[in-house]
With several copies, the nearest count.
Chain A
Amino acid sequence: MYDVKKIREDFPILSRKIYEKPLVYLDNAATSQTPRQVIEALVDYYENSNANVHRGVHHLSQEATDLYESARVKVAKFINAREPEEIVWTRNTTESINLVAHTWAQEHIGPGDEIIVTPMEHHSNLVPWQKVAADKGATLRILPLAKDASIDLSDIDEYITPRTKLLAMVHMSNGVGTINPVKELTAKAKKMGATVLVDAAQSAPHMPVDVIDLDCDFLALSGHKMLGPTGIGALYGRRELLEEMDPFLTGGEMVLEVWYDRATWNDLPMKFEAGTPNIADAVGLGAAVDYLQDIGMENIRDHEIQLTRYALEAFKELEEELEMFGPSDAEKRGGILSFHTDAVHPHDLGTFLDRDGIAVRTGHHCTMPLMRSLGVIASARASFYLYNTEEEVDALVDSLKRALRYFTDGAK
């Protein structure tokens, strides 16, 4: 049985009060909260095993290396990578994507080639490709947006063609919650000989993600969105691709031999990990993965579907006032509700909710072009995670109702 009350007890911050009200944290798409199991892993690392990894023969160094490398194994298993060497530690999804843009893309994208992205990319999976396209004389093509903020697939065969060299797409949209048909699009793109990168920043934390099943070439994720610490993320890359890629950052750890005038590169995954890594946070992410897997990604996904369904129902009371973005079927979306009203700017709404202890995000969610396509500058976004409850959805709806009244006729 999914015991949300028991889960909540693992998250110290959830018992915080904001303006004397219990915190209702609905900003999970921005960053997730941290269970004590992860905090304890960090504390334990610093109190007992802290040392630099890989190069030491002393005991602490070995302990630190074992902890650090076993975290890599955990992340590899979490997304079903064939081997831990296919996991490269990065700071976050953004760095993971930039790594591919600075290495693989430099060799494989040329004049006349096409890079395809969805219309709902986070800036982190859009701006790097703008630069690659501009530098290489390639074309960046944006798939069209359907009415319900999903990808309009009607002309997909005119987009994914033999000219497509890279398909870079978000799995679950952080802006509107849409889950994209990544597996189907990957199959289509690979048939054309393209390489496929999946931005799993939102999907990996909330649903089972399997790189072998998806058959993608690269996949990027951020630890801080999946109960892990800030400052650690991962890039999955198929071994063949990682092997032939040039390194990105250079320096310590990523070299095999160095002379004053030249150097040779270390094996995977170290080739892509220059300098002292973020050891403690990798260990912390390993603990987060353990925590998620103990509960089960299927169970987490089910919980969020139920919560989203409940919320979509509850929001019907507000359907005259609020425009809701994204698919209406909870199965086709993540636990992300993005909404807008002309009557109140999202920021003012956010400030009102905040005084009720409710944390939502307001703004463009780093998806400015998507917002523009939806005809707004900003939206308010409530995003759920494994610890959120129906009572919290009720609190959100109640606060929203009062806010709308307050800003339209109620105030004064």
Chain B
Amino acid sequence: MAQNDLDELYGNDLIRDHNRNPRNSAKLNSPDLVADAVNPFCGDEAHFQINLDGQGRVSEVGYEGVGCAICRSAGSMLSEVIKGHTLEGVEEISGLFQDMMFGVEPSEEQAALLGDLTSMTGVRAFPIRIKCALLAWSAIEDRISEHQRRQP
């Protein structure tokens, strides 16, 4: 049983792959937005650079994560799924992801938005690790709300 839990999390191909080969790992020079977060309780870090296109959509992302497999893979997945979305859209995905992590099953349409992140449901069996999955999102969310406050 315990082993099953572990397999569902660490045995998941997508998670393993994102952890070992994080996407968008090239750092962007002079990005439009920079987002960073640290988990005070473990020291894990997530760093993002984001470029927006003329319509305010995420066009390019740079991501570096330091931390555990869950934190790193969640960050890498995030860096993929936000592309092409406006900041409002990114916030919506963030909300869906949080809901999912706390037990709400996404609809098919929502699952499409979440992309590889749907593979993160295995973390639910490890409640204390949920914040590892959310670290990257908290970085992005904080930065977006700050950005929006500045440009009313």
* Interface set of A (CB-CB < 8 Å, partner B): 19-21, 54-57, 61-62, 65, 255-257, 266-267, 270, 344-348, 351-352, 355-356, 362-364, 368, 371, 377-378, 406-407, 411-412
Contact = CB atoms under 8 A, between A and B. Distances in A.
A378 B43 contact: yes
Interface string B88-107: 00000000000000000000
Contacts, number: 82
23 contacts: A19-B2, A55-B41, A57-B129, A61-B128, A255-B40, A345-B68, A345-B71, A345-B72, A346-B68, A347-B70, A348-B10, A348-B70, A351-B9, A355-B3, A356-B2, A363-B43, A364-B42, A377-B43, A377-B45, A378-B44, A407-B10, A411-B11, A411-B16
Contacts of B129: 57, 347, 351
Contacts of A61: 128
Interface in B1-45: 1-3, 5-7, 9-11, 13, 16, 38, 40-45
Contacts of A407: 10, 69
Given A345-B68, A377-B66, A371 B1 contact: no
Q: What 3 pairs across the A-B complex have the smallest Cβ distances?
A: A347-B68, A345-B68, A355-B2
A156 B71 CA distance: 41
Contact of B126 (A54, A256, A270, A351): A351
Given A257-B38, A411-B10, A411-B16, A368 B43 contact: yes
Interface of B: 1-3, 5-7, 9-11, 13, 16, 38, 40-45, 66-72, 126-129, 132
Most chain A CB within 10 A, of B1, B10, B41, B126, is at: B41
A377 B44 contact: yes
A33 B79 CA distance: 43
A19 B125 CA distance: 12
A256 B67 contact: no
A348 B69 contact: yes
A348 B20 CA distance: 14
A347 B69 CA distance: 8
A345 B40 CA distance: 16
A406 B40 contact: no
Given A345-B71, A363-B43, A407-B10, 19 more contacts: A19-B2, A54-B41, A62-B127, A257-B40, A345-B68, A345-B69, A347-B42, A347-B129, A348-B68, A351-B6, A355-B2, A355-B6, A377-B43, A377-B44, A377-B45, A378-B43, A406-B6, A411-B11, A412-B13
A49 to B, nearest CB: 13
A62 B5 contact: no
A371 B43 contact: yes
A412 B19 CA distance: 15
A276 to B, nearest CB: 13
A19 B126 CA distance: 12
Contacts of B43: 257, 363-364, 368, 371, 377-378
A123 to B, nearest CB: 10
